Structure 1
Amino acid sequence: MRFTSINPASEDVVASFGEMDPKDVHDMVGRAYTEQKIWAQCSFEHRARIVSRLADILMRDIEVSAALITQEMGKPIGQSRSEILKCAETCRYIAALAPTALATEELLIDGSVADITYAPLGVVVAIMPWNFPFWQFFRFAAPALMAGNGIILKHAPSTFGCAINIVEVCREAGIPDDLVQCVMIDVPQIEELIGDARVRAVTFTGSTRGGEAVAQIAGRHIKKVVLELGGNDAYIVCDDADLGVAVDACVVGRCLNAGQSCIAAKRFIVHASIVDEFTKRVAARFDAMVVGDPMDPATEIGPIARADLRDTLLDQLQHSMMEGARQVTKRSVNDIPKRGFYVPPVLIDNITTQSRLFREEVFGPVASVIAFNSDEEAVELANDSRYGLGAAVFSQDLDRARALAERIECGMVAINDFVRSDMRLPFGGTRYSGYGRELGVAGVREFTNIKVIRTK
C-alpha cells in the first residue's frame, strides 16, 4: 500500500510513501523502548537543554517547515509560520516549566514522610492529525519528552512529509535517534502497535469515531489514553455584548485555518434582539475574505485539506439547505478557483436544532446562526450537542458571562474572545470531545506514573 500527499490548492501529488513492513515497525518500537530507559535517567537539566534546542531549530527552519505545511494541507503561509512559532515558544516554555511541575512533593503524614513522584510511563504512541501537523505533535511531545517518555509518531497520511521533517528537527536538536520515530502504517498495523507490550500509552487527536476505535484497542490492553477529539463549539452573543468585539472574534474563530479546527466556532447563538445586525455584519466580513492561493500572503482562506473533506462539508451544507436553512452570504460555493479543494466562507441561518450544521462537527468555513431569548435558552442550545470541547460568551456584564460560562459543559470557555490553545493552560474537552489534557502543568504530568513513596 502507498500513501499519497496531495497539494489541496493545485491537486498535484506532493509525495508518495510506502507502508512500512510490520517487522520494521516492531524493531522501531524495540529501539524506542531501549532508548527511553536511558532518557528517563537523564536529568531535567539535560532534557530541558535539548527540548529548548528544538525551539532554536524550528525557528531557524521556519520558512521550510511552514512551506511544507502549506503544501501538504493548504493552510495560508502566514498561519503556517505562526504554527511553527507557537511550537517553538511552547518548547521553551515547557522546558522551563517541567522541572518544577515534575518535582517530588514531600508531605508529612502521621509521623511518616510521603514523597509524591512523577515517573515516565515509557513509550507513547502519538496518532496525530493533518490540520495542525506541527503544533499537534509538539504540544504533546514537549511535555512527554520532559517527563522522560519516548515517542512513536503515526501522523496523518496526507502530512507524512511533515512527520519526516518533525523527526529530522528532533534529531538535529539532539534527541536520540531512536527516542522519537515516525511510522507510516495503515489501520491494521495501528492496532498491533497499540497492543505491543512495550508501548505504555497512546495519545490520539482526530475524529470521535477514530477516538472510539483507539480507546477500545487501548482498553483491551489496559493502557493510558488521551483523546482530543471533535468539537461543536457554541459562541453565545448576549444582548449587551460589544457587537464589534463579538463579530471580530466570531469571524476569526470560525475562519482560522479555513475552519479546520476542533476548537473553531461552529454555532453562533445570538440574542434575538441583535441577531439581525450580528448576521449582517458577519456575512459582510465573510463575503470580503480573500479565498485563494495559500502561498499568497494576501490569502485569508486556503483550500480544504482533502477532496473527501470538502465533499463532506458540501454535503452537510446541501442537506441543511434542503431542510430549509438559508444562506446569508452572497458568494456561491461554486464561485471559487476551479482547481483545488476550495470552499468560501458561508453563513447560514434559519436552521433548527436537528440540522446537520447544528448537530455535527463542521470542519470548514461554514457557520450557522440561531437566536435565543433568555440566558436559560442560550445554555440549553449550547449544551444541545454530544461534544464538549470549547465555547465562548460575549457580554459586557462579566458576572453574567461568567455565570453562563460555568453552565456550559465543555473543557474551555473564552469570555469576549475566541477559543484558542495556550501553552500555559490545560487543553482538552469532555463528553464526545475526549478526555485527558495537554499543555500546562496538567499536560506535563499527563504521561507520568504518580507514585507515592512513604517512609516510616
Structure 2
Amino acid sequence: MKTDSLLRMPGSFIGSDWVQPIDGGTEDIPNPATEDVYGVATVGGVKDCDLAIAAARKAFDSGPWRRMSMRDRARKMEQLHAALLARSDEIIDMIVAEAGCARAEAAGLLFAIPMQQMAADIDEAYRYESVRSLPFIINPGWAGDKVLGTGAKQRVPVGVVAAITPFNAGFFLNVVKSSAALIMGNSVVLKPSPYTPFEAWILADTIRRLDFPPGVFNVVTGGIEVAQMLTTDPRVDMVSFTGSDKVGAAIMAQAAPTLKRLLLELGGKSALIVRQDADLDVAAQAAYWNITCETGQGCCLFTRHLVHNSVKQAFIDKMIAVNGQAVVGDPADPSVTVGPLIRAREQQRVTGMVDEAVRGGAEIVFGGKAPSHLNRGYFYEPTLITGVDNAARIARDEIFGPVGVVIGYETDEEALAIANDSPYGLGGGIISTDKGRAFEMALELDAGFIVMNDGPGAKHPAAPFGGLKRSGIGRESGVEGLDAYTELKSIVFRAG
C-alpha cells in the first residue's frame, strides 16, 4: 500500500476538536486480509483520557445538551443520521478494510442495521415522555380525613458515559451506544478497539462538522490503561461495554468503588435447535450464516447446532452443500463471502482450539485449517465439527472464529437441557415448522435474544438486546435501551 494512501487519525477527539496525544503516540493499523498497513492511528494515554473525561464532565455539568428538550436533541441527532448516511460508501469501505468483513455484511449488518436502530431511537425520542404521572391514591390523613395524593416519575440522564466497544462491530456499536446515550442527554467518551480505531474516527469527524456542543462527544484511543481510567475515574458515571465476560467481570470490579452504572453485553455460546420437522434448507442456511458471519467473530452467533438425530445427517449434508458455495478471501472483492480473522493471534487461537478438539476425538466435516490458496492475511476456513458432546471445550467456550459444532438429541426436553447447559445466555434459535411448539420452546430457553426460524428479516429495532447469566447485564435497543442511559426519579405530592 502506498504511503500517501494511508488514513491518518489527527488525534484524540476532545471537546470539539482533534488534540494531539500528550502521553500517547501512533500505531500502524493493518488490513487483516492483506497485512498491509491501512492507516496510522492515534494511540492515547491516561493524560489524553483525563482531558476527554474533563471535557465530557464540563459539558454535562454546565453545557446546554442535557438542558435541551428531547425534541431538540432528536433534531440534532437527525442531522447526524443524515450526515452518516451521506458517507455510507466511505464507511462501508472502511469496515471492509479495517475489520476484514465481507462487503455484503459490512453494508447490511454493520452499517444499515445500526443506522436503522439510530433512526428508530430518534423516532422514539419524539414520543418519549421524560416525566410521567403516577396514579392518584387516597391515603388516610392524620386528622381522620382522606388525602388525595399523586406524583410523577422522571427519567434523567445518568451523566458522563464511557462507551467501550470491540473490533467485531466497531461502527455498529459506536453508533448504537453513543446515539442512545446522547439522545437521552448524556455526554460520551468513546474508546474503540485498538484494532478498529477509524470506525470511531469517522463518527467523531462527522459530529465535528455538525457543531455539537463541545465535550458532548469525545473519542480517546489507547490500551488497557485508558480503559481502566474510564472504568475507575469518579467523574465517569456509567460504563457501557461490549466484549468478553472476563473483561466484563474485571470492569465490574473496577467500577465497584465508585458505584458506576453498568451496561454489559458480553460473550455467548448460543444454541440453534433444529427440530425433526425443520425445513432443513432454512436450517442449513441459518446455521452456516451463524458460523461465517463476521468470520464467526460475533458474540451472539449460534455456533452450537443441536440437531434431532433423525435429521442430523441430512442437516450435515445440507451444510456441506452450502459450504461449497462460500468464497473465502479478501473482502475488497465483492464476490467474497468470508473474510479474515482480525489478527494473527486470533487465527492461532482458533487453530489451537480446533486442533485440541480433534485430538480429543472430534471429527471435521469441512474446514479445520487455514486456506491453502491464501498466503497472506489471517484466514481460517469455515469449519463444522461433529463427534463431540456439550461437555467438550469447543462446545462450551466462545471460539470467535468460523467454527460450529453439531450435537444430536432425541427429545425437545433434551435439546432444551443441552442448550441451557451453558454459563452463557445471550442468544438462541429454533427451527421448526410447528411455530407454536417453537414458541413454547423459546419461552424455556435461557437466553436474552431468541430467533425463530429465519426471523423477522433483519434486526428488530424495538427488540431489546442483551443476555442472561455471564452474557451480561442490561439491555440495548428499543425503549429499554434508551432507559438504560437514564436514572429514575420519583416526585410525590398532594393532589389538592
Shorter-chain TM band? over 0.9
Which residue matches 1:23? 47
The structure-2 alpha-carbon separation of the partners of 1:281 and 1:21, relative to structure 1 and needing over 3 Å to count, comes to: closer
How many angstroms apart in 2 are the aligned matches of 1:254 and 1:102?
Answer: 41
Structure 1 residues 35 and 238 mapped into 2: Cα distance closer, same or farther (>3 Å)? same
Instruction: Determine whether 1:428 maps to 2:475.
Output: no
- Secondary structure at the aligned position of 1:116 is classed as strand
Question: For residue 465 of structure 2, what is the amino acid of its counterpart?
Answer: F
Among 406, 417, 422, which residue is 2:454 paired with?
417
Letter in 2 for 1:89: Q
Write the letter of the residue equivalent to 2:127: T
Q: Indicate if the aligned counterparts of 2:367 and 2:381 stay in contact, CA closer than 8 A.
A: no
| CA deviation string 1:200-245 (max 9, x = no partner) | 0001101111111111111121010011011101000000111122
**Superposition pairs of residues 220-299 of structure 1, within 5 angstroms:** 220-299=257-336
Partner of 2:176: 139
Q: Which stretch shows the higher mean deviation, 182-191 or 49-58?
A: 182-191
Per the alignment, in what secondary structure is the counterpart of residue 227 of structure 2?
helix
Partner residue in 1 for 2:76: 50
Alignment check: 8 A CA contact 2:351 2:368 kept = no
Q: Is the 8 A contact 1:102 1:445 kept in 2?
A: no
The aligned amino acid for 2:32 is P
In structure 2, give the amino acid aligned to 1:27: L
- Could you give the per-residue CA deviations for residues 310-341 of structure 1, whole angstroms, max 9, x where no partner exists? 11111111110111111112685343411000
- Whose Rg is larger? 2
Q: Look up the equivalent residue of 1:412 and give its one-letter code.
A: F
Residue 185 of structure 1 is matched in structure 2 by 222
2 CA distance for matches of 1:363 and 1:6? 19
Q: What's the counterpart of residue 137 of structure 2?
A: 109
Alpha-carbon distance in structure 2 between the residues aligned to 1:447 and 1:411: 19
Whichever residue aligns with residue 235 of structure 1, its letter is: L
Q: TM-score, normalised by structure 2?
A: 0.88
CA distance in 2, matches of 1:422, 1:142: 17
Determine whether 1:448 maps to 2:482.
Answer: no
Task: In structure 2, list runs of 5 or more residues that go unmatched.
Answer: 1-23, 139-147
Q: Does the CA contact (< 8 Å) of 2:55 and 2:214 recur in 1?
A: no
Equivalent-residue separation in structure 2 for 1:425 and 1:42 (angstroms): 27
Give, in angstroms, the shift of residue 186 of structure 1.
Answer: 2.0
Q: Secondary structure at the match of 2:366?
A: coil
Aligned pairs for 1:25-174 within 5 A: 25-37=49-61, 38-82=64-108, 83-107=110-134, 108-110=136-138, 111-174=148-211
After superposing the two structures, state which structure 1 stretch, 365-374 or 188-197, moved more. 188-197
TM-score (norm 1): 0.96
Assess if the C-alpha contact under 8 Å between 1:336 and 1:342 holds in 2. no
Query: Whole-Å Cα distance in 1 between the matches of residues 373 and 307 of structure 2?
Result: 29
Q: Which amino acid aligns with 1:283?
A: I
SS in 2 for 1:363: coil
- Does the CA-based 8 Å contact 1:421-1:427 persist in structure 2? no
Q: What is the rounded CA distance, in whole Å, between the counterparts of 1:29 and 1:360 in structure 2?
A: 35
Shift of 1:78: 2.5
Aligned twin of 1:200: 237
Q: Equivalent residue for 2:359?
A: 322
The answer to whether the 8 A contact 1:32-1:180 is kept is yes
CA contact (8 A) 1:75 1:258 kept: yes
CA RMSD of aligned residues (A): 1.7
Greater shift in the superposed pair: 16-25 or 35-44: 16-25
How far off its partner does 1:421 sit?
4.0
Deviations 1:44-72 (A, max 9, x none): 12111111112211111111111111111
Query: 394, 398, 402: which one pairs with 2:435?
Result: 398
Deviations 1:386-436 (A, max 9, x none): 110000011111221112111111101111126964321100001111110
Q: How many angstroms apart in 1 are the aligned matches of 2:151 and 2:216?
A: 32
Q: Which amino acid aligns with 2:95?
A: I
Measure, in 1, the Cα distance between the counterparts of 2:256 and 2:426. 23
* Corresponding letter in the other structure for 1:134: F
Aligned residue in 1 for 2:370: 333
- Equivalent residue letter for 2:31: N
Whole-Å separation in 1 of the counterparts to 2:346 and 2:379: 10
- Paired with 2:206 and 2:308, the residues of 1 have a C-alpha distance of 48
C-alpha separation between the residues in 2 aligned to 1:89 and 1:189? 31
Provide the secondary structure at the position in 1 that maps to 2:174.
helix
Q: Give the whole-Å Cα distance in 2 for the aligned partners of 1:42 and 1:330.
A: 55
Q: How many residues align?
A: 456
- SS of 1:241's equivalent in the other structure is coil
Q: Take 2:267 and 2:205, find their aligned partners in 1: how far apart are those partners?
A: 29
Task: Select the residue among 339, 345, 359 that pairs with 2:382.
Answer: 345
Mapped partners of 1:101, 1:439: distance in 2: 14
Give 3-state SS (helix, strand or coil) of 1:328's partner.
strand
Q: Quick one: distance in 2 between partners of 1:84 and 1:334?
A: 28
Amino acid in structure 1 at the alignment position of 2:72: H
Closer, same or farther in 2 for the Cα pair 1:303/1:400, shift >3 Å?
same
> Separation in 2 of the partners of 1:317 and 1:177?
49
Moved more, 189-198 or 359-368: 189-198
Please say if 1:438 is aligned against 2:476. Answer: yes
Which amino acid letter does the alignment assign opposite residue 113 of structure 2?
A: K
Moved more, 253-262 or 263-272: 253-262
SS of aligned partner of 1:138: helix
Q: Percent identity?
A: 31
**Aligned residue identity for 1:25:** C
C-alpha spacing 1:165/1:177, structure 2 compared with 1 (3 Å): farther
Q: CA deviation at 1:194?
A: 2.3
Distance 1:74 1:136 in 2: 17
Deviation at 1:133, TM superposition (A): 0.9
- The answer on 1:362 being equivalent to 2:362 is no
Q: Which range is displaced more, 260-269 or 396-405?
A: 396-405
8 Å contact 2:427–2:449 — kept in the other structure?
Answer: yes
Hey, what's the Cα distance between the residues in 1 that align with 2:129 and 2:346? 40
Partner of 2:341: 304
- Give the Cα–Cα distance (whole angstroms) in 1 for the partners of residues 467 and 28 of structure 2: 32
Cα pair 2:266 2:472 within 8 Å, conserved: yes
Contact 1:98 1:441 in 2 (8 A): no
Letter in 1 for 2:204: V
User: How far, CA to CA, are the matches of 1:338 and 1:117 in structure 2?
Assistant: 59
